[in-house]
Amino acid sequence: MNVIVLCFLVLLQVVMPCVGQTFENVTKLYDDLFSSYRNNITPLNNQSEPFEITLAFYLLSINSFREVEETLVLTGGLAIVWKDTSLSWNPVEYGNINSLDVDSKDVWLPWFYLQNNAKKFEPVGFDSAFRVNINSSGFVNYSPGSILEAKCQTDISKFPFDTQPCLLEFLAWGGGATFYKLISFFEEVNLDFYTKDSNWEVVTRKTYAQIEPEGYYKFHMSLSLKRKPMYYIIMIVLPTMLLSFLNPLVFLLPVESGERISLSMTILLSYAIFLTLVSASIPASSNPMCFLLIVMIIIMLISGLTKNKTKGRYSYGL
Ligand SMILES: *[C@@H]1O[C@H](CO)[C@@H](O)[C@H](O)[C@H]1NC(C)=O
Ligand SMILES: *[C@@H]1O[C@H](CO)[C@@H](O)[C@H](O)[C@H]1NC(C)=O
Ligand SMILES: *[C@@H]1O[C@H](CO)[C@@H](O)[C@H](O)[C@H]1NC(C)=O
């Protein structure tokens, strides 16, 4: 028994210094890298060579789409990779450490702004803490995420069968933008961490970086979202059709019965009430107007006309 404990202790003595050494290695590496590093100077060695930054967009969820304010609210993250030559090391000198995680405040970061922002104009992930990963060749991987509110023009004319396109444009606003050469890592928005939405379906999701006529690069993310229409079909489209079928049935009643006025009045009134109920869920935008709303107004108009017509006949019958 004692022999086993002794063996264990000996083993522990052998193992412990190893763990300690690895930690020492990391600490030494950190000290060597950052003792003279300045995190507010762009790591640009040669001004005439483009500074390449690779970007990708991860969509996590679609939070809401506000038709009236024309804004799309989503949670997403950028994955940004660039090379910082002063942050490379030889892994053999540090016990084969290939990568190092540090606080993003320690290193220089490129700041990307959402250009068509509808909320706060600040770099993506500016107010949250993220860690960066550096590998021994000096590549820094920074993945800031945020809840983004983007301004997108909406077209609700086909509501509830509409598809809304939205383009999110990211750029390094201000200093530095002209040196950067942006590269899109994927051709599509990454959905690995996406939580499905019950109101919207993602139809297209492209990402690309392109040079603008002004001479700097922009990273684009083009989304188009298709509305899931079932709720609106049951709540709005079906009752509208039903009431519009009821309207001409007024003429089936004999002229003498006198029930025509009361039936057409009832249809008109129920329609007016239905319209006030429904208008709350139809997006109130007039550019362009919702087709469904126009149909409903026309049906109401026809309903009013048939009422007049029956009244005329009725008085004539008298
Ligand atoms: C900077 O880059 C240009 C173009 O690649 C090259 O011709 C020049 O020699 C470089 N200068 C230095 C100091 O490395
Ligand atoms: C780093 O770790 C290795 C063993 O993995 C050790 O030989 C070396 O001395 C360590 N270096 C430092 C600076 O601690
Ligand atoms: C560091 O990361 C870059 C970009 O992801 C990759 O191309 C390179 O091979 C990596 N280097 C090492 C030593 O892992």
Q: Where are the domains of the chain?
A: 2-227, 230-317
E strand or H helix at 189, and its extent?
none
Lowest mean pLDDT among 2-6, 56-60, 108-112: 2-6
| Smallest-distance ligand from the CA of 99 | 3
| pLDDT recorded at residue 114 | 94
Query: Is the pLDDT reported for residue 289 higher than 70?
Result: yes
DSSP string, 42-66: ---S-TTS-EEEEEEEEEEEEEEEE
Q: Where are the beta strands (DSSP E) in the chain?
A: 51-66, 71-83, 99-103, 113-114, 131-135, 139-142, 145-151, 163-171, 180-184, 200-211, 217-227
Once rounded to an integer, what is the mean pLDDT over residues 121-143? 93
Share of the chain above pLDDT 90, in %: 48
Nearest protein Cα to ligand 3, atom 14: 135
Judge contact between 139 and 83, C-beta under 8 A: yes
List Cβ neighbours of 313 (8 Å cut-off, separation of 6 or more).
255, 260
| pLDDT recorded at residue 27 | 92
Average pLDDT value for the chain: 85
From 245, 266, 244, select the one nearest 310 (Cα to Cα). 266
Ligand 3 neighbourhood includes 136 CB (under 6 angstroms): yes
69 vs 185, higher pLDDT: 185
| pLDDT recorded at residue 317 | 38
Query: Is the pLDDT reported for residue 18 higher than 60?
Result: no
- What's the rounded Cα separation, in Å, for the pair 295 and 78? 43
Nearest protein Cα to ligand 3, atom 2: 139
From 71, 253, 65, select the one nearest 160 (Cα to Cα). 65
2-227 CATH, one of 3.30.930.10, 3.90.1300.10, 2.70.170.10, 2.60.40.10: 2.70.170.10
Structure confidence by residue, pLDDT tens digits, 49-99: 889 999 999 999 999 998 888 899 999 999 999 999 899 999 999 989 999
Once rounded to an integer, what is the mean pLDDT over residues 123-128? 89
Nearest protein Cα to ligand 2, atom 2: 95
Nearest protein Cα to ligand 2, atom 6: 95
293 vs 100, higher pLDDT: 100
Distance 89 CA to ligand 2 centre (A): 14
Query: Is the pLDDT reported for residue 9 higher than 70?
Result: no
Categorize the per-residue pLDDT at 311 as very low, low, confident or very high, splitting at 50, 70 and 90.
Answer: low
From 234, 157, 227, 241, select the one nearest 198 (Cα to Cα). 227
Q: Which amino acid is at 317?
A: G
Query: Is the pLDDT reported for residue 12 higher than 50?
Result: no
Judge contact between 24 and 52, C-beta under 8 A: no
| pLDDT recorded at residue 286 | 66
Distance 310 CA to ligand 2 centre (A): 99
